[in-house]
Homo-oligomer: A and B are copies of this chain.
């Protein structure tokens, strides 16, 4: 049997750490976007698993040859596509410790520290972002936060809580039935909203796509009010409204306050999707813009695994009323009954999300919050915003280019004034060069490039290098 001895684990573990350190050190020299053809990586591996054990070194040795060429390097300093999924040394090591402990936090009793450290760090993060106290778990009443895997799951979970509340508890027993439930988001809402409605049994048709302002790309609240009134007249029950604080396409920020006022008295659940932008509220200067009206929301999600240095996966969902969420999802088979749960003195996080089993994810967020401190996190966010402002200047200085929407935090959306073809051609040439990686979107029917800064390794020199290559590609 090939179990590693403690000595062998130390040796191989140090080698794995060194591999990562070397990988990062060499990242700048690698093409950001993988150029492999479909099937190439797959065909480079044996068709069947090995019968006998290989040393771990053999896997490490294969990484550079077989794996790295097939990677698009999300930790590369010139990765500007989609949104960042930035990792950091502290988070990696925090998560490593979590793997070593290997505890299951499905309920408090199965490893109390897993639950309680999560309670603490989600409260810390709420404080760090300046969220309203209603979302705090500890000593502030009825709310609370939980670490989930992704914002997709968080949105789905919030939708299930909304259904539970709106159906007076009948949906979890009898199903959603034929009632005409309506779910609202802008045309720019994340695709996970439709997916959530599909998964919850409501169907994609339950999702009403609200028009956006053509300039800001934020929800047109007047249109929303009109749609809402029409739907109510037509017998629909408004169930769930998602306000986007930072859309995926352009970083647009819906007016949460106005949306909340529009549904005052309607009884719909207000969910704020701040998956990418929310963490920027760690800087007080962004709070007016990011958190205005959030005190009126029922739930909010933001992802430390995007722009806050916490290795995927780490998405934090806060709710105003945890009992609704728990009541929507709890099931207790005999083998999970225990005195601590029955005392009501503890949190059992398995009732806060679809899954039962759960990893000690709080460890990596704890590591990030402690080893950066709020000062370090603010500096990181400000670096990203400053670099994006520099990109904005570069766009303004090139008459072939124009901004499509105003810069949103660290996201710049721009295009070639000549239209879609030169815009997309330039982006594809830049990406194919390996120098940088941008992704595209379509805004008001016209193609655009997105440049989202987020890595802690990105410097002004990386922007200059990227820009020089873009000039060649234009």
Contact = CB atoms under 8 A, between A and B. Distances in A.
B100 A354 contact: no
Interface stretch (A169-177, A222-230, A261-269, A318-326): A169-177
Nearest to A120: B45
A124 interface: yes
B249 A335 contact: yes
A313 interface: yes
A134 interface: no
Contact of A20 (B1, B100, B375, B376): B100
Judged by DSSP, the binding face of A is: helix
B369 A173 contact: no
A116 B39 contact: yes
A344 to B, nearest CB: 10
Nearest to A202: B175
B104 A74 contact: yes
A88 B3 contact: yes
Contacts of A59: 94, 366-367, 370-371
Interface in A225-262: 248-249
A41 B17 CA distance: 30
Interface string A321-341: 000000001011111100010
6 contacts: A4-B89, A13-B21, A13-B96, A96-B99, A153-B355, A334-B440
A18 B99 CA distance: 13
A72 B111 contact: yes
A149 B153 CA distance: 12
Given A2-B376, A200-B201, A125 B49 contact: yes
Contacts of A202: 175, 201
B58 A171 contact: no
A418 interface: no
Interface in A67-113: 67-75, 81-82, 85-97, 99-104, 108-113
Interface residues of A, number: 161
A153 B354 contact: yes
B75 A102 contact: yes
A19 B175 contact: no
Contacts of A383: 1
Given A12-B93, A104-B312, A371 B56 contact: yes
A311 interface: yes
Interface stretch (A191-199, A208-216, A288-296, A392-400): A191-199
Nearest to A204: B173
Interface string A345-372: 1100000001111010000001101111
A17 B24 contact: no
B96 A92 contact: yes
A10 B442 CA distance: 43
A417 interface: no
Given A2-B372, A48-B127, A54-B370, 12 more contacts: A3-B456, A6-B24, A19-B100, A20-B100, A49-B124, A67-B117, A81-B110, A152-B357, A173-B203, A175-B176, A175-B206, A248-B333
Nearest to A371: B56
A7 to B, nearest CB: 8
B41 A116 contact: yes
A311 B360 CA distance: 11
Nearest to A332: B191
A88 B96 CA distance: 12
A1 to B, nearest CB: 5
Given A75-B102, A111-B71, A356-B192, A96 B97 contact: no
A34 interface: yes
A273 to B, nearest CB: 12
Contact of A373 (B2, B124, B340): B2
B203 A171 contact: yes
Contacts of A355: 149-150, 152-153
A322 to B, nearest CB: 16
A276 to B, nearest CB: 12
A38 B345 contact: yes
